[in-house]
Copies of this chain bind each other. A is one copy, B any other.
Amino acid sequence: MRILITSGGTSEKIDNVRSITNHATGTLGKVIAEDFLNKGETVTLVTTKSSVKPTPHPHLHIVEVSDVNNLIETLEPLVKTHDVLIHSMAVSDYTPTFMTDFDTVKKADQLELFLEQKNTETKISSSSDYQVLFLKKTPKVIHFIKEWNPSIILVGFKLLVAVSKDDLLETARKSLTTNQADYIIANDLTEISTDAHHAYLVSESGLEEAYTKQDISRLIYERVIKDA
């Protein structure tokens, strides 16, 4: 069983010194990787420079990525050569395209033109009181997974913030279909702390609950890895 895990969060550059990141730390991916390695599995972990890493292990291979484009290039050959993907990485949904001062935007006749523009400065100037940043949707990486490898078992993640259990589970079930995922780990940011991590493992046929990161890992192992 060749297991591929993604962890941490991509970041998208605004210029050479600034970027947009998300708050993912890579902790859950680390816990799952270490747990599976302890159980004798071989793990490839795709993660980012700033993420927390698992303890080194002879059967662990780590590949670092930075932004969404880089993730896509890296992931395609790996998805084609693995049996399971546990895709816990938080992938940036927007990437900066152009930043300029507010007055320039205010004076413009056609705002659409900004969508085509690119910054040429290496570090965008910071003199005006307000700036406007235009962002473009990134490709949905999870949509490519089954195109690249129809037989891979895909465990996706859905993170929402302060929603009801019903809303969370409904979003997770939709995600099974739209992303062709076999399982979705659904969780709410308000229920994640240092000690606790409440989550649901959602599939077409069932629903199970976990309360810690170790618990989530055990659930994925028992339901996804052992049966595969």
Contacts and interface: CB of A to CB of B under 8 A. Distances in A.
Contacts of A94: 126, 131
Contacts of A137: 126, 128-131
A177 interface: no
Contacts of A130: 115, 134-137
Contact of A21 (B16, B21, B134): B21
Given A94-B126, A134-B102, A21 B18 contact: yes
Given A130-B136, A132-B133, A137-B130, A161 B20 contact: no
A10 to B, nearest CB: 11
Interface string A185-206: 0000100000000000000000
A19 to B, nearest CB: 6
Interface in A162-178: 162
A189 B137 CA distance: 29
A14 B18 CA distance: 14
A50 interface: yes
A226 interface: no
A136 B126 CA distance: 10
A135 B136 contact: no
